Amino acid sequence: MSNLVSDLAYKNWLYTLKENVKKSQINASVSVNKELIMLYLDLGIQIIDKQQTSNWGSNFLGQLSKDLQAEFPQMTGFSKRNLELIRQWTLFYFVIAKQPVSQLDEPNFVIAKQPVSQLDEPNFVIAKQPVSQLDEPNFVIAKQPVSQ
């Protein structure tokens, strides 16, 4: 056994195995984080849509928070404040971080009902398509009235 520990071929092989385990752990973390980001993005899109199309009142996010926390008690991130931040992040991602629609070749986009003058009070129509990749969304939000 002591000969194996000092054997150069074994050390090299063990090093390679350890590196593979580390790479797999990193890849698993990246995959989990990507899925969570996709979940939060989809949740943000749905929240914006429901706030624009439903008359559920001012406590919509409070009730949604309670319901999601009750259904998924092991998950964190569904507080009312986090839901507000998810909504805000979604607006930032599509309105500020993405390039203007006029610069895209053939976008598959949703047009705002009104020009976006205040990020806190948008009036958006949201696409019902799933987002497959963060860097290539299936939609963007246009900054022009529907009438144009």
Element (H, E) at 111: strand 110-111
pLDDT of residue 5: 76
103-141: pLDDT as tens digits: 544 444 443 443 344 444 444 444 444 444 444 444 444
pLDDT of residue 96: 64
- How many domains would you assign to the chain? 1
Q: Is 148 part of any domain?
A: no
Q: Is 9 part of any domain?
A: yes
22-47: pLDDT as tens digits: 999 999 999 999 999 999 999 999 99
What percent of the chain shows pLDDT beyond 70? 63
Q: Is 69 part of any domain?
A: yes
* Per-residue tokens: 120: 């806190």
Q: Running DSSP on this structure, what letter comes out for residue 131?
A: P
